[in-house]
């Protein structure tokens, strides 16, 4: 995150900050790929990468992060009726389409988004408030209409900061996620992603 110094800051410091913002903005789509995705890959996708990801939040791709989460747990399967699938890159492709299906954003305001709250504002494993971590018994997905009401989640998970049951992200990692949100979530388009997939497949077939 960038700190704005008012009044006491010298012109050189302000100019340096402006240069930093310009440099990051100039990276465009690369900021997610170079700074945010490595965090998700190292700390998040052990749980948030499959079709049965908690709260259907997939962080294995840019499109999954933008799609967001759903209050309907994929584990709560109806016994007598089918459920419409929500497969990434198959059932829907646009953020607007996913919103119509009840997915709500976890990204947005760098300090108040659900993502920022979950990785920085909640108590973690080091608090000692929770001795046993049973994700299957303590899951709670936020409501589509009020995703920042965490009372139910915190009651079931008194040490529920993400990554759940593990040491928290470093301040540097948190700052990178918040900076990405401050930059309005730039990232690769679906066309760029599909192009990379095609190139990867073609390379492996050589």
Please check whether residue 48 is in contact with residue 59, taking contact to mean a CB–CB distance below 8 angstroms. yes
Closest CA to 163 of 32, 34, 62, 41: 41
**Look-up of token digits 């108040």:** 112
Q: Which of the two residues, 155 and 4, has the higher pLDDT score? A: 155
- Report whether pLDDT(161) > 50: yes
Closest CA to 75 of 65, 67, 83: 83
- Report whether pLDDT(80) > 80: no
Mean pLDDT value of segment 16-21: 41
Bridge partners for 88 per DSSP: 92
d(CA 158, CA 15): 43
How many H-runs (helices) and E-runs (strands) does the chain carry? 10, 0
Please check whether residue 123 is in contact with residue 57, taking contact to mean a CB–CB distance below 8 angstroms. no
Bridge partners for 137 per DSSP: none
Burial of 115 (0-12, 13-18, 19+ CB in 10 A): buried
Please check whether residue 162 is in contact with residue 44, taking contact to mean a CB–CB distance below 8 angstroms. yes
Mean pLDDT value of segment 52-60: 90
Q: How would residue 60 be classed by pLDDT, with cut points 50, 70 and 90?
A: very high
End-to-end CA distance of the chain: 43
- Report whether pLDDT(29) > 80: no
d(CA 102, CA 15): 43
The pLDDT of residue 90 is: 85
Highest mean pLDDT among 59-73, 145-159, 182-196: 59-73
Is-cis flag, bond preceding 105, omega within 30?
Answer: no
The pLDDT of residue 89 is: 82
The pLDDT of residue 17 is: 39
The pLDDT of residue 75 is: 67
d(CA 189, CA 62): 8
What's the pLDDT tens digit per position in 88-123? 888 888 899 999 999 999 999 999 999 999 999 999
């Amino acid at each position: 995150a960038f700190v704005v110094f008012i009044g006491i800051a010298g012109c050189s410091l302000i100019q340096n900050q402006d240069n930093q913002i310009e440099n990051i903005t100039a990276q465009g789509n690369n900021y997610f790929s170079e700074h945010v995705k490595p965090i998700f890959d190292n700390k998040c996708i052990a749980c948030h990468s499959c079709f049965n990801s908690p709260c259907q939040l997939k962080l294995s791709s840019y499109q999954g992060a933008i799609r967001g989460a759903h209050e309907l747990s994929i584990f709560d399967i109806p016994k007598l009726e089918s459920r419409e699938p929500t497969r990434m890159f198959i059932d829907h492709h646009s953020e607007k389409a996913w919103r119509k299906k009840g997915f709500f954003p976890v990204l947005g305001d760098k300090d108040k988004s659900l993502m920022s709250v979950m990785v920085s504002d909640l108590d973690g494993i080091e608090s000692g408030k929770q001795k046993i971590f049973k994700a299957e018994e303590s899951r709670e997905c936020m409501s589509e209409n009020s995703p920042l009401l965490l009372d139910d989640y915190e009651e079931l998970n008194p040490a529920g900061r993400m990554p759940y049951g593990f040491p928290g992200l470093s301040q540097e990692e948190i700052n990178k996620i918040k900076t990405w949100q401050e930059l309005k979530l730039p990232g690769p388009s679906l066309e760029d992603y599909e192009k990379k997939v095609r190139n990867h497949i073609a390379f492996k077939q050589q």
